[in-house]
Amino acid sequence: MSEKLPKESQNEEVDLGQLFKIIGDAFNRLIKFIGSIFKVVFDVIILFLLFIQKHLVKFAIVGIIGFLVGYFVDTKTETRYISTMVLEPNFNSVQQLYNNIDFYNELAEAEDSTALAEALNIPVSESAFIKEFSVESYSDENQKILLFDRFVRSLDTTTQKAIDIEAYLENFNSYDARFHTVSVIATDKMIAKKSQPAIINSISKNEYFNLQKDISEINIQLQDSLYKKQIVEIDSLQLFYKKVMMKELDRPMEGTTISLGENGTKENKEIALIDKMEELKTKLVELNNQRANKSNILNVISDFPSKGVEVHGITESYKFILPLFLVSSMLLFFMFLSLNTYLTRYKKNRV
C-alpha cells in the first residue's frame, strides 16, 4: 500500500500539469486571436489614412469649392424664421388639429399660395412667405404618468386592476399627450401671428366639437349643483347633531342617549360628515379646474410670438452641407475606384 501512494501522487501531478498546460495553451491562443483582430483593425486604419493622404489635396480643393459655392448660395437664400405656438386640445380635437396642420403644410410645400391664403384668411402675397407647417406633441415622463393617473381614475375598480402602467407608456402616442406645439417656418417674421386666428378657428368652429363642449358644460353644471346640494344637506345634518348634543347636555342626569342611527356612535357620524364635506369641497375644486380647462375647444397655452426667430444651425447652412456632400461623394468615388482596381488585380492573380 505504501508503494502505491507515491505513484498516485505522481499521476495526480501529471494530470494537473497537463490541465495547466491545456489552460495555458488556450489562453495563449485567445491572446493571439485578440492580437490578430487588433492587427487587422490597425492595418485597415493605416490603409485608410494612406488613402486619405493620397487624395488629401483633392479633398481639400473640393471642400474649399463647396464652401465658397455654399457661402454664395447662403447669401442668395432668404432668411427663414420659426414661430411656435403651444396648444391644449379638448374633446378629442387633437386628430383634427394634426390633419389641419398637415393640410396647411401640403399647400405650403406645393407653393399653392391661393389655397393657403384662403385657408388661413390672409392675403395671397403674405401666404407665399410661408414655407413649412409642423405639429408635434410635448410630453415628458411626469406628464405621461399624470395622464395615466387621470385615465385610471376614469375606470371602474375591476378595470383598474387590469391596467399596467408600462403597457400604457409603451403604447403612448403623440395624440395622447396633453400639450402640442405648432410651428411655422416662413421668410416673413410677422406672418405666423397673422395666421393664428384661422388655425384656432378651424377647430373651434367645428360643430361636433362645439356640441361636445356644450354637453360638457351642462354636465359640469349639473355635477356642480349636485355637490352644492349635498353640502347643504351635510350642513343641515351637522346642525341637527349640534342640537342633539345641546339637548343631551341639558339632561345629564337622566342617563339616556339619543340614537342617531343603527350603525356607529354620534361622534363617528360627525367625523363621517366632516370627511364627506372635505371630499365634496375637493371635488368642487376639481370641477372648477375642469370648467376652466374645458371652457375652450383649443386652449392656447402660448401664442405665436409677434416676431419669429431666425432659423440657425450648421445643418441649415449650405456652406456646411455642400462641402460635406461633395467631399463624401468624392470619397465614395475614389473608394469605388480602389476597390475596382483591387478586384481586377485579384482576378488576374487567380487566373
Cα 185 to chain centroid distance, Å, stands at 21
Query: Residue 96 — pLDDT band, cuts 50, 70, 90?
Result: very high
Mean pLDDT estimate for the chain? 81
Is the pLDDT at 12 greater than 60, yes or no?
no
d(C-alpha 218, C-alpha 211), whole Å: 11
Of 7-16, 151-160, 237-246, 326-335, least confident by mean pLDDT is 7-16
Query: What's the confidence (pLDDT) of residue 192?
Result: 92
d(C-alpha 351, C-alpha 345), whole Å: 10
Cell of 59: 479633398
Is the pLDDT at 14 greater than 60, yes or no?
no
Angle at 237 between CA 232 and CA 240, to 5 degrees: 130
Q: What is the pLDDT of residues 187-237, one digit of tens each?
A: 998 999 999 999 999 998 889 999 999 998 999 899 888 888 888 888 888
Is the pLDDT at 141 greater than 70, yes or no?
no
Handedness of CA 284, 287, 293, 296 (dihedral sign): negative
Is the pLDDT at 183 greater than 90, yes or no?
yes
Give me the residue spans of the domains in the chain: 4-74+317-350, 81-139+177-310
Q: What is the pLDDT of residues 27-41, one digit of tens each?
A: 888 888 888 898 888
Query: Residue 99 — pLDDT band, cuts 50, 70, 90?
Result: very high
The reply to whether the predicted model has a pTM over 0.85 is no
d(C-alpha 210, C-alpha 204), whole Å: 7
d(C-alpha 77, C-alpha 68), whole Å: 14
Q: What mean pLDDT is predicted for residues 314-334? A: 85
Q: What CA–CA distances, in Å, run from 90 to 103, 133, 206, 297, 299?
A: 20, 21, 12, 5, 8
Q: What is the pLDDT of residues 146-169, one digit of tens each?
A: 666 666 666 666 666 666 666 666
Query: What's the confidence (pLDDT) of residue 260?
Result: 47
Is the pLDDT at 1 greater than 50, yes or no?
no
